[in-house]
Amino acid sequence: MTVTVATLGFPRIGPRRELKFALEKYWAGKTSRDDLMTAAAGLRTAAWARQHALGADWLPSNDFSLYDHVLDTSVMLGAVPARYGAADGQADLGTYFAMARGTTAADDGCGHAHASQTACEMTKWFDTNYHYMVPELVAEQKLALNAPKIVDEYREARAQGFETRPVLLGPVTWLTLAKGRDVDPFDFLDEVLGLYGVVLGHLAAAGAEWVQIDEPILVLDLDDRQRKALTRAYAKLSRIGVKLMLATYFGGLGDNLGFATALPVAGLHVDLVRAPEQLDAVLARAPKSLLLSLGVIDGRNVWRADLAALLDRLEPIAASRDIVLAPSCSLLHVPVDLALETKLDAEVAQWLSFAVQKVGELAVLKSALNHGRESVADALAASTFAATARAVSTRIHDPEVARRIAAVTPDMAERRSGHATRIAVQAAMLDLPDYPTTTIGSFPQTPEVRHARAEYLRGTMNVAEYNRFLREETERAIRWQEEVGLDMLVHGEFERNDMVQYLGEQLSGFAFTVSGWVQSYGSRCVRPPILYGDVARPRAMTVDWWRYAQGLTDRPVKGMLTGPVTILNWSFVRDDQSREASCRQIALAIRDEVMDLEAAGAQAIQIDEAALREGLPLRRSEWQRYLDWSVACFRLSAAGVGDATQIHTHMCYSEFNDILPSIGAMDTDVISIETARSQMELLEGFARYRYPSAIGPGVYDIHAPRVPSSEEMVALMRLARQHLRPEQLWVNPDCGLKTRKWDEVKPAIEAMVAAARVLRTDVPVPA
């Protein structure tokens, strides 16, 4: 029997973020459309050549995208909202980028005045940190095929001698992700299937034998309508004349297993990293005529696999049927090439594997299965050596951390007193006015701040100079906050590059890469920290900057920390222990910092949990378990303080209604949330749930440069007051201000403080 290797998708950004730079130059008007297209084509060719050289048999095409593969699919189908003004089937590159990024009024290019258009909405791709552009549909939407890039890219590869398996986002996943304004997206099912049929027909005519069609929704809880749509879709699409490899990933098929294996497709890809336990059931259900693609190498994380252990499982399977070996999902979600890491500690580096290395691992497995383990004896020995070394390394296993974890008692997650007592003690200590004003933590990371940091990292600015610079920035921020009349101040976070990285760099157990970029959206990339070992906090991380800032003013300055769940969710995490276990270690480290801030005199400490909600598992049935341990970890980090210390948290999103009991269970004294864009709707939920503590509903959207008026903010807060008691309310923006300019921040915060003053003079409305 034959074993082959597929990759499902390769990082698009290029090893050195070439795509980012090509896009940004083009957007800035510094290069032409042709320059951009040439750069993109170069990246595609390089990716094909690389994967081919590494031993991949099934090369993907159309996994490349100039911005986002969901947007590509929407444009392919002609699902282009009318506001972009493209005629049916005529969306061009300008339309594409307008949907991705919006347009400004001046950005017209043909001498006519066009109103500015907002971009399509963007949201997270399943449980990854990749963001896609949400497809939009309206009732009168006319769908029509735009020149499909999938066919062009297939031909392009073929002309270069690469036979590829084009990748297409499946129709039912696309419809599931779509938002209908006045229409149910599924009403478009038949029309969409018609267009998919045409595209597959073009691919067949161009010579494609196989197409990979991604339906990750098969790992979710499906309703009847989705199942019916899938049945209908694959009954139709399997008759076009190309073989379909139906790809599922990000979890197990679970209760959809029987359904998925019965769809009339030629191949099925399953994720055996997230759901190794489904292997036996898949094998039992899948007829021999169904080509199985086994996702055995982790496409979501950076660890090197234990190849010999995988072979133990794969050998009996490969003896009885043809299989394809693949990463669990597209390699889009891991960095490109470990070889570019020049600064990683050598011991940690040998445990890691990025996209390039992962294809190499698959090739080793293939060779061992096709030609015997001896054909790759050295590679297997190296893999076993790394796995064994990692299992016992003292860099990972810290007995002192284990001892502290074992000593955690339930009372450590409990504040000393309940809300009522704490509110009274804190009110007496802090003596804040009604509707106290504050901000979320960061102030503008100006070009000067970024420049100074770069100089410092490059070594052209010494520590003393850098610290002097940061002290000046901080002092200016404190003075300005006093002047503008804010009640609770922040130090401004000028010393922080990133809210996770800044703390991670000071904790043991984290490693940072120099080139480990992963696409977040469009040209934006992130370099997630790698949590490889037990976490401890050798020394205080934020106390000095807090103390300096508090020393400048009589008003309270908040201590500012990132919560354990957010640190976990924005990192590549260990796969040798549960997320929960890693999170608890981080929680203890943050707890140490909280206690040190309190000891230094901080009266209020904010522990941001920006990413708590996005860690929710894909299956509803697993939500509660996640919420329970993540809330427990947050409490462990926060609850050591006395009644007088006010614990704040911040969450920058607004879909709280389904997790309100857990938000309440965090037992904070003040929570600031994003509400400006949803017009306070969600406060209804807080009111219904009888949320006991204080809330700062963000009164303006910091994500746009627009400066809001004081009247708008007063109106929003009056709305908030319909739902919550006045003494529960704080006044603040909806997120940190680091991405804004001081020219925007100053008038906006002035208006916000003025709004709070107006609210204080309002005659209370009798309940």
Task: State the residues that interact with Zn ion by CB under 5 A.
Answer: 652, 735
586 and 631 Cβ atoms separated by less than 8 Å: no
Kindly state the smallest distance separating residue 589's Cβ from ligand GLN, in Å.
Answer: 18
Q: Between residues 233 and 489, which has the closer beta carbon with respect to ligand GLN?
A: 489
Residue 440 dihedral angles phi and psi, to the nearest 5°: -85, -15
CA angle, residues 729, 733, 736, in degrees to nearest 5: 125
Q: 234 or 443: whose CB is closer to ligand GLN? A: 443
* Of residues 305-344, those binding ligand GLN (CB under 6 A): none
Q: Give the CA distances from residue 38 to residues 23, 35, 45, 336, 583, in Å, rounded to whole numbers and listed in that order.
A: 11, 5, 11, 21, 44
Nearest residue (CB) to ligand GLN, 423 versus 699:
699
Report how far residue 235's alpha carbon sits from residue 276's, in angstroms, rounded to the nearest whole number.
29
Nearer to ligand GLN, 300 or 738 (CB): 738
Shortest gap between Cβ of 651 and ligand GLN (angstroms)?
7
Compute the least distance from the CB of residue 528 to ligand GLN, in Å: 15
Q: 75 vs 65, 99, 240, 687, CA distance in Å? A: 12, 9, 22, 42
Name the 3-class secondary structure at 525.
strand
* Complete DSSP assignment for 301-360: S-BPP-HHHHHHHHHHHHTTS-EEEEESS-GGGS-S-GGG-SSS-HHHHTTB--HHHHHH
Least distance between ligand GLN and beta carbon 737 (Å): 7
Look up residue 430 and give its two tokens. 């802090």
Find all residues with CB under 8 Å of 226, minimum gap 6, and list them: 172, 176, 217
Long-range (24+ apart) CB contacts under 8 A made by 313-320 are 313/279, 314/3, 314/365, 314/369, 315/369, 317/283, 318/1, 318/3, 318/369, 319/1, 320/1
What is the per-residue binding string for ligand GLN in 544-583, x denoting contact by CB under 6 A?
Answer: ----------------x-----------------------
Residue with smaller CB distance to ligand GLN, 532 or 545: 545
Longest dimension (CA), the chain: 84
CB of 501 to ligand GLN, least distance (A): 13
Residue 508 in contact with residue 404, Cβ under 8 Å?
no
Of 51 and 445, CB closest to ligand GLN: 445
Q: Of these partners, ligand GLN, Zn ion, none, which one is at the site of residue 14 (CB under 5 to 8 Å by kind)?
A: none
Least separation in angstroms between residue 493's CB and ligand GLN is 6
Going by their DSSP bridges, the two strands 530-536 and 3-5 should be labelled as unpaired
Q: How, if at all, do strands 670-673 and 646-651 pair?
A: parallel
Judged by beta carbon distances under 5 to 8 A according to partner kind, the member of Zn ion, ligand GLN, none in contact with residue 738 is ligand GLN
Smallest separation, CB 643 to ligand GLN (Å): 24
Write down the least CB distance from residue 215 to Zn ion, Å. 33
Q: Which does 654 bind (CB under 5 to 8 A by kind): Zn ion, ligand GLN, none?
A: none
Q: Annotate each residue in 619-638 with x if it binds ligand GLN (CB under 6 A) or - if it does not, as one string.
A: --------------------
748 scored as a contact of ligand GLN (CB under 6 A): no
Shorter beta-carbon distance to Zn ion: residue 213 or 652: 652
Q: Given the DSSP bridges, would you call strands 210-214 and 164-169 parallel, antiparallel or unpaired?
A: parallel
Number of helical H runs and strand E runs in the chain: 27, 21
Q: Which one of 69, 415, 650, 723 is in contact with ligand GLN (CB under 6 A)?
A: 650
- How many residues bind ligand GLN (CB under 6 A)? The answer is 13
Which residue lies nearer to ligand GLN by CB, 141 or 439? 439
Taking CB under 6 A as the rule, does residue 749 contact ligand GLN?
Answer: no
Binding ligand GLN by CB under 6 A: which of 632, 736, 751, 759? 736
Q: How far is the CB of 650 from Zn ion (least distance, A)?
A: 6
735 counts as binding ligand GLN under rule CB under 6 A? yes
Residue 358, contacted partner among ligand GLN, Zn ion, none, CB below 5-8 A by kind: none
Helix H segments across 393-489?
399-406, 419-430, 447-458, 463-484
Distance CA 277, CA 290 (A): 20
Minimum distance between the CB of residue 145 and ligand GLN, rounded to whole angstroms? 40
**CA angle, corner 147, sides to 145 and 149, nearest 5?**
115
Is 10 within 8 Å of 362 (Cβ atoms)? Answer: no
Task: Name the residue nearer to ligand GLN (CB basis): 9 or 528.
Answer: 528
The answer to whether 507 contacts ligand GLN (rule: CB under 6 A) is: no
Q: Indicate which single residue of 404, 613, 738, 740 sits in contact with ligand GLN (rule: CB under 6 A).
A: 738
Closer residue to ligand GLN, CB minimum distance, 404 or 650: 650
Q: Does 358 bind ligand GLN (CB under 6 A)?
A: no
Instruction: Give catalytic status of residue 703 as yes or no.
Output: yes
Q: Print the binding letters for residues 473-502 with ligand GLN: x by CB under 6 A, - otherwise.
A: --------------------x-----x---
CA distance 724 to 703: 25
Asked whether position 652 contacts ligand GLN by CB under 6 A, the answer is yes
Return the residues of window 402-461 that contact ligand GLN according to CB under 6 A.
440-442
Minimum distance, C-beta of residue 651 to Zn ion, in the bound complex (Å):
7
213 or 610: CB nearest Zn ion? 610
Q: Taking a C-beta distance cutoff of 8 angstroms, is the pair 120, 81 a contact?
A: yes
Q: Of 216 and 444, which CB lies nearer to ligand GLN in the complex structure?
A: 444
Residue 542, amino acid = T
Q: Which of residues 171-230 bind ligand GLN (CB under 6 A)?
A: none
Q: With H, G, I as helix, E, B as strand and everything else as coil, classify residue 760.
A: helix
234's enclosing H/E stretch is helix 224-237
> Could you give the 3-state DSSP secondary structure of residue 618?
coil
The kind and range of the H/E element at 214 are strand 210-214
Q: Which stretch binds ligand GLN (CB under 6 A): 333-341, 515-523, 713-721, 735-743?
A: 735-743
442 binds, among ligand GLN, Zn ion, none (CB under 5 to 8 A by kind): ligand GLN
- Decide: is 81 part of the binding site for ligand GLN (CB under 6 A): no
Q: Which does 294 bind (CB under 5 to 8 A by kind): ligand GLN, Zn ion, none?
A: none
- For residue 305, give Cα distances in angstroms to 127, 322, 631, 732: 22, 22, 31, 47
Six-digit token pair at 236? 């139709």
Among 52, 114, 397, 703, the active-site one is 703
**290 in contact with ligand GLN (CB under 6 A):** no
Q: Minimum distance between the CB of residue 519 and ligand GLN, rounded to whole angstroms?
A: 19
- Residue 424 makes CB contacts below 8 A (sequence gap 6+) with none
Could you say whether residue 136 binds ligand GLN (CB under 6 A)? no
Contact 52, 78 (CB under 8 A): no
Q: Residue 393's CB: how many other CB atoms inside 10 A?
A: 14
Backbone φ and ψ for 296, nearest 5 degrees, come out as: -105, -15
Minimum distance from residue 702 beta carbon to Zn ion (Å)? 8
Q: Residue 608's binding partner, choosing from Zn ion, ligand GLN, none, with beta-carbon cut-off 5 to 8 A by kind?
A: ligand GLN
Residue nearest to ligand GLN (CB): 736
The C-alpha atoms of residue 230 and residue 670 are separated, in whole angstroms, by 46
Q: Looking at 646-724, which runs of residues are DSSP E strands?
A: 646-651, 670-673, 694-697
Contact letters (x/-) for ligand GLN, 592-621, by CB under 6 A? Answer: ----------------x-x-----------
Residue 378 is inside which H or E element, if any?
Answer: helix 377-392
Residue numbers at the binding site for ligand GLN (CB under 6 A):
440-442, 493, 499, 560, 608, 610, 650, 652, 735-736, 738
Would you name the residues annotated as active-site residues? 703
